[in-house]
């Protein structure tokens, strides 16, 4: 379908059912339409109106439980959310990708050569090339395309804006050149490959997997080549709680080494036992050798190992609680996760700037407002950015108003759990 035809049909509400599958409520659908039309118009402006286009989407994710466990082959509970990255895309007849993100310069990427280049680390063009390279490595078709994209996934929010973009690129290639036949796990792996090898960020697989698979999902990374993925049957809308992400507007620049240290210190503990990752170490062996361990690794590494072992158990508890419709037990697991991240994993503020503690303040404020009624925890990579809170619906106005008063208007984001991961929306 031509771009201008799509605009007419969106304006005439002909795609409302497709949009509602992603955005859940009628009001959310209505709010999305101007964004979709704006992106289509940008495509027409840059690339013309003479080709059939697809509209594709990849969601941000919220980490529900399992903070900093995936990179050491641990367990996580995550969910896709209604904030997403979308693309209007059309095939090209060469091996060039031209991608224009709203508010950014045009990326012009030649994919006839896919070798990684360290000078391109940190650039979105490298991320695009890496995703394509990853899919090619897995044996799938690749090709050029033109695309205009936009994202309402907040950068630095712990909602994984980079993973949403990577999964979006993979989803474009999937539907333009592979008939939508690339499975969600492969999409996620290709996206992680891009972030690690081409973008230069040592991330685990959680972000990409949650964005690619969609809805509530628990993932066991014990075997990273074949992670165990299970969707969790729980209707969060009936819980009586709202899911809030609080953006503390803290300084989250130059934190790559802080994130990397969490992973490397956990791996240092594993190496002391002759293992590669902590998941290969038995907890009882770890406890029994604490004295000897102190001569081999630093104290923070040991504390982070304690967090890892406990967090895996908390993921199991959270999943079981949801499956048993026991939201009180679920809240307890979430709050315990938050305390462990703060006390043991120590990813609530950067040791480089110990007086900047926006996350600590948000957690403190949430405890004072919600103690005995809700749950609260650091969200995502930590050190700066966001926290997560489960807030009773009858306390939502008070919580949001207080958070917005302290951290600025619009700091408290009320989210919807999205039932789909990376997908074709229209086309």
Q: Judge contact between 64 and 337, C-beta under 8 A.
A: no
Q: Shortest CA distance to 107 belongs to which of 94, 93, 120?
A: 120
Instruction: Count Cβ atoms below 10 Å from residue 394 Cβ, excluding itself.
Output: 10
pLDDT at 246 over 80: yes
How many Cβ atoms are within 10 Å of 113's Cβ, its own excluded? 9
Give the three-state DSSP class for 147: strand
**Residues belonging to the chain:** 427
pLDDT confidence band for 204 (50 / 70 / 90): low
Lowest mean pLDDT among 253-257, 320-324, 398-402: 253-257
Q: Which of 238, 201, 256 is nearest to 384 (CA)?
A: 256
Single pTM value for the model:
0.82
- Residue 25: pLDDT band (50, 70, 90) is confident
Calculate mean pLDDT across residues 5-25: 94
What digits encode the pLDDT tens for the residues 54-108?
Answer: 999 999 989 999 999 989 999 999 999 889 999 999 999 999 999 999 999 999 9
Domains within the chain, CATH numbers bracketed:
3-234+418-426 (3.30.230.10), 236-415 (3.30.70.890)
Mean pLDDT across the chain: 93
Which of 47-56, 123-132, 247-256, 406-415 is the least confident region? 247-256
Burial (0-12, 13-18, 19+ Cβ within 10 Å), 219 = buried
* Span 353-397, pLDDT tens digits: 999 999 999 999 999 999 889 999 998 889 998 999 999 999 999
């Amino acid at each position: 379908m031509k771009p201008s035809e799509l605009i007419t049909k969106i304006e005439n509400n002909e795609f409302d059912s497709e949009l509602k599958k992603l955005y859940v409520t009628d009001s959310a659908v209505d709010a999305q339409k101007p964004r979709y039309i704006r992106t289509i118009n940008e495509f027409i402006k840059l690339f013309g109106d003479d080709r059939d286009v697809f509209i594709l989407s990849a969601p941000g994710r919220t980490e529900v439980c399992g903070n900093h466990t995936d990179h050491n082959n641990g367990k996580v509970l995550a969910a896709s959310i209604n904030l997403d990255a979308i693309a209007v895309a059309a095939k090209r007849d060469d091996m060039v990708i031209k991608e224009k993100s709203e508010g950014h310069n045009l990326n012009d990427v030649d994919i006839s050569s896919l070798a990684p280049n360290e000078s391109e680390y940190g650039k979105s063009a490298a991320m695009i090339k890496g995703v394509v390279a990853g899919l090619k490595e897995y044996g799938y078709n690749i090709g050029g395309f033109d695309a205009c994209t936009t994202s309402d996934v907040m950068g630095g929010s712990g909602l994984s804006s980079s993973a949403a973009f990577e999964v979006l690129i993979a989803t474009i290639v999937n539907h333009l050149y592979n008939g939508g036949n690339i499975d969600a796990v492969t999409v996620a792996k290709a996206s992680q490959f891009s972030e690690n090898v081409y973008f230069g960020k040592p991330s685990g697989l959680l972000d990409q997997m949650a964005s690619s698979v969609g809805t509530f999902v628990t993932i066991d990374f014990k075997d990273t080549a074949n992670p165990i993925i299970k969707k969790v049957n729980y209707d969060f809308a009936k819980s009586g709680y709202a899911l809030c992400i609080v953006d503390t507007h803290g300084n989250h620049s130059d934190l790559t080494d802080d994130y990397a240290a969490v992973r490397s210190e956990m791996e240092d503990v594993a190496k002391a036992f002759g293992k590669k990752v902590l998941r290969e170490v038995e907890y009882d062996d770890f406890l029994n050798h604490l004295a000897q361990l102190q001569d081999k690794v630093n104290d923070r590494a040991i504390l982070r190992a304690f967090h890892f072992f406990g967090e895996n158990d908390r993921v199991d508890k959270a999943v079981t609680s949801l499956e048993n419709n026991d939201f009180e037990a679920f809240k307890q697991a979430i709050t315990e996760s938050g305390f462990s991240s703060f006390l043991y994993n120590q990813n609530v503020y950067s040791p480089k700037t110990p007086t900047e503690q926006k996350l600590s303040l948000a957690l403190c404020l949430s405890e004072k407002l919600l103690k005995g009624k809700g749950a609260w925890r650091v969200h995502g990579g930590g050190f700066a950015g966001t926290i997560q809170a489960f807030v009773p619906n009858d306390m939502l106005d008070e919580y949001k108003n207080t958070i917005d008063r302290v951290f600025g208007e619009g700091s408290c984001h009320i989210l919807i759990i999205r039932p789909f991961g990376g997908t074709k929306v229209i086309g």
